[in-house]
Structure 1
Amino acid sequence: MLWVKALHIVFVASWFAGLFYLPRIYVNLAMVAPGSGAERDRLLLMARKLLRFTTLLAVPALAFGLWLWLGYGIGRGSGWMHAKLAVVLLVIGYHHACAVMLRKFAAGGPARSHRWYRWFNELPVLLLLAAVVLVVVKPF
């Protein structure tokens, strides 16, 4: 079970690293000057590759997490585990929102300012903090 925990931590940390950097690429995309096609294309390529990689990392991260949850028994751990699973669902929603934003960028441009994307970039930090506190402190 310790190997599964270790793999879960590695994949989750890698997944979050991608989720930290992807919105930063969106900030840069929102700041691209009109007519800078090469720069825009390069940033879109980087974002596509990073999104694909983070999606590939999310699958084993979630699979090992499910394995751990089932290994401890469903319902065991009570409130903190259910709260952590709610945070995981929020992270999955954030990941999906990043994919939707990338499609919007590829279709024509930013719908929002670079400042909005800077704030959006801070959300995974709060989600990671919530997940770590729930796992370590187990307040419920």
Structure 2
Amino acid sequence: MTTQNRSIDETAGRQAAVKARVAIVVLCAGVAALMVWNPPQLYLWIKAVHVVAIISWMAGMVYLPRLFVYHSDSDPGSQQSETFKVMEARLYRIIMTPAMVVAWVLGLWLAYEGFGFSGIWLWLKIAAVLGLSAVHGYFGKSLRRFASDHRDKPARHWRMVNEIPTVLMIFIVVMVIVKPF
């Protein structure tokens, strides 16, 4: 990678990070304004933002391990490997982690406000979200390993790990919609 290309990538990365921070601040300000305003439909507005955050988080949770599949097949230090490092870092830091934080904060508020933290289904859902958060943490650790060109897991591992967020998501959706317990 040339110095000029690296400089362009770093500038684009900084711009994306600034845009993401601005978006998070605007989102937080909007949610805070909703809570101060306290419209009759506040719970539904918070739920809507919560669902958007979950969709964003889950999109990253299923896409990042696919990037790891392709990254693990690339040669360390190659242009392709360096491109994957940038893509993975931006996805994780700018989209996935903020979306996870928003989903958690608003989800806990919804659990308290709507259900008073009662119901076996809710605790099973929270346990599954904790599991999803642990997978998120594993992806972060793996991202750092890929960034330093450590590749101790084959592409097959990442293909299998790619299914874990999907299975947890299905379980969570069933707990929330069906409430079987």
| TM-score greater than 0.5 by the shorter chain | yes
Which of 85, 92, 107 is residue 126 of structure 2 equivalent to? 85
Equivalent in the alignment of 2:92 = 51
Corresponding residue of 1:97: 138
Flag structure 1 segments of 5+ consecutive residues without an equivalent. Answer: none
Runs of at least 4 residues off by over 4 Å: none
Partner Cα distance (2:152, 2:102) in 1 = 32
- Encode CA deviations 1:24-78: one digit per residue, 9 max, x unaligned: 11001111035x61110000000000000210111111111011011024332x1
- Which residue in the other structure is 1:41 paired with? 82
Tell me the amino acid that sits aligned with residue 83 of structure 1. L
User: Matched residue of 1:128: which SS?
Assistant: helix
> RCO (CA 8 Å, sep 6+): is it higher in 1 or 2?
1
Structure 1 residue corresponding to 2:157, chosen from 101, 116, 135: 116
Percent of aligned positions with the same letter in both sequences? 36
Q: Report what 2:167 is aligned to.
A: 126
Tell me, in whole angstroms, the C-alpha distance in 2 between the residues paired with 1:123 and 1:73.
27
Question: How far apart, CA to CA, are the structure 2 residues paired with 1:100 and 1:74?
Answer: 34
User: If the length of structure 2 is used for normalisation, what is the TM-score?
Assistant: 0.73
Q: Secondary structure of the equivalent of 2:65?
A: helix
Asked if 1:8 is matched to 2:50, the reply is yes
The letter for the 2-side match of 1:137 is V
Root mean square deviation of aligned Cα: 1.2
Alignment size in residue pairs:
138
- Structure whose CA Rg is larger: 2
Query: Is 2:179 the partner of 1:138?
Result: yes
* 1:47–1:102 Cα contact (<8 Å) kept: yes
Which residue of structure 2 aligns with residue 60 of structure 1? 102
> In structure 1, what is the equivalent of residue 32 of structure 2?
none
